[in-house]
Amino acid sequence: MFTLETPQKVCEVGGVKFGGQPGEYPCVCVSSIFQKGDRVFSGKRKEGFDEKRATDLLKTQDRLSEETGVPGMADIVANTGNEFKTFIDFVVDTTDMPFCIDAWVMKPKLVGAAYCAEKGLLDRMFYNSLTVWEQNLETEIREIADIGVKHVLLVSFDQEDQMPGGRITGTQKLLDVIEKVGVEFESIFVDSSVMNGPATAFCGVANRMIKEKWGFPTASAPSNGSYMDLKRFTDKWDFKGWSATDAALEALAAFNYHDMIFSGPMAGATRILPAVAVAETFLATAVFSETNKLPPNETHPLYKLFPDFVDQLKSLQA
């Protein structure tokens, strides 16, 4: 039921492993910082950010990762190349967690990638992202390959086919262009693109298909769907009610063929990482029932949160 016949790729970014068979490595939570509306900005972005608040966010995610066994990463969002330089410097001076560079358009992302190369950070950074709708995709691929980018995220959504199979088509389109340009990357992740909360189920189905076809680590951004319902659900159930739906959606995604989730603003890490951790213990136990194997790394949430239960499971292996 859970084990995939296709050999699964395990990728490593900044010491964090992604991918493998379901239940092998925990889903990585990639939380955004410096995004539009982030409370680290008390005024206009150009006026700077609250370094204490940003430090607290990063340190809190680090602590939760240690406590839960769920790896955290920073999705650094910027509008310009200069912003990327400032934000990257701050993040790497504050935490050891890996990060990605995230912008709506190509130019600042290329500046951010080049700056990471200059600072010797390419092992710790992945490029977010190559998309099917980028008009200058060949140029972008060639540019990041020349910079030396090692780890890339492919966003595979196909507007013409919004069913799970469309994500296969979108992934193939991107792989075809990479092959045409004639470059190779050390790691490729595939983001199957969320449309709304319930449609995250399509991502889980698509991710299994992608893993079966290519063995790539897979991802999506459940938070995109969750935050679409922020006002509607807070009006119904207040913030606590909405936050429960958010944590549930992230946890369901983590259980369902996601090696990585883009989990929304880092301020939400206090609810998201524990929820994902419990989902990962659920998945690891389900896989154990099928394979009689426990996760290989003892920093996995199952060992962190339920050590007594792990001892019981080990007794059943004999």
- Domains, the chain: 10-278 (3.20.20.20)
Residue at 185: amino acid letter: F
Q: What's the rounded mean pLDDT across residues 55-70?
A: 98
111, 112, 116, 118 alpha-carbon torsion, rounded to 10°? 20
Six-digit token string for 42: 């008390």
Residue 158 has pLDDT above 80, yes or no: no
How far is the C-alpha of 294 from the C-alpha of 93, rounded, in Å?
A: 36
How far is the C-alpha of 160 from the C-alpha of 164, rounded, in Å?
A: 12
Residue 159 has pLDDT above 80, yes or no: no
Q: What's the rounded mean pLDDT across residues 9-14?
A: 98
Q: What is the pLDDT of residue 157?
A: 83
> Based on the number of CB atoms within 10 Å of its own CB, is 150 exposed (0-12), middle (13-18) or buried (19 or more)?
buried
Which conformational region is residue 4 in: left (phi greater than 0), alpha (psi within -120 to 50 degrees), or beta?
A: beta
Label residue 1 by pLDDT band (50, 70, 90): confident
Phi/psi at 48 (nearest 5 deg)? 95, 180
Q: Note if the bond before 129 is cis, omega within 30 degrees.
A: yes
How far is the C-alpha of 60 from the C-alpha of 56, rounded, in Å?
A: 6
User: What does pLDDT average to over the chain?
Assistant: 96
CA 79 from chain centre, in angstroms, equals: 20
How far is the C-alpha of 23 from the C-alpha of 6, rounded, in Å?
A: 15
Residue 217 has pLDDT above 90, yes or no: yes
Residue 207 has pLDDT above 80, yes or no: yes
How far is the C-alpha of 52 from the C-alpha of 58, rounded, in Å?
A: 10
Label residue 315 by pLDDT band (50, 70, 90): very high
By percentage, how much of the chain surpasses pLDDT 90?
95
Q: What is the pLDDT of residue 175?
A: 98
Q: What is the pLDDT of residue 193?
A: 86
Q: What is the pLDDT of residue 123?
A: 98
Residues 64-122: tens digit of each pLDDT: 999 999 999 999 999 999 999 999 999 999 999 999 999 999 999 999 999 999 999 99
How far is the C-alpha of 230 from the C-alpha of 96, rounded, in Å?
A: 31
Residue 191 has pLDDT above 90, yes or no: yes
Q: What is the pLDDT of residue 161?
A: 81
Residue at 179: amino acid letter: E
Label residue 48 by pLDDT band (50, 70, 90): very high
Q: What is the pLDDT of residue 162?
A: 84
Residue 215 has pLDDT above 80, yes or no: yes
Q: What is the pLDDT of residue 300?
A: 98
Residue 150 has pLDDT above 90, yes or no: yes
Rg, C-alpha atoms of the chain: 19
Q: What is the pLDDT of residue 120?
A: 98
Residue 238 has pLDDT above 90, yes or no: yes
Strand 99-102 and strand 187-191: the pairing is: unpaired
